[in-house]
Structure 1
Amino acid sequence: MNTSSAGGAAFMVPSKSRLVQLRAASAPSDRDEPVGAKLASLAIAAQQLDAITREAVTASRDAGLSWSQIGAALGVSRQAAHQRYGNA
Structure 2
Amino acid sequence: MSADTIARRVAVLISREFRVDLDRVTPETKLEALGADNIDVVNLALDIEDEFRFRLTADEMQALDVGTVADVIQIAEASLQQAAA
Q: Same fold (TM over 0.5)?
A: no
TM-score normalised by the chain length of structure 1: 0.35
Normalising by structure 2, we get a TM-score of: 0.35
Larger radius of gyration: 1
**Higher strand proportion (structure 1 or 2):** 1
Task: Indicate the structure with greater helix content.
Answer: 2
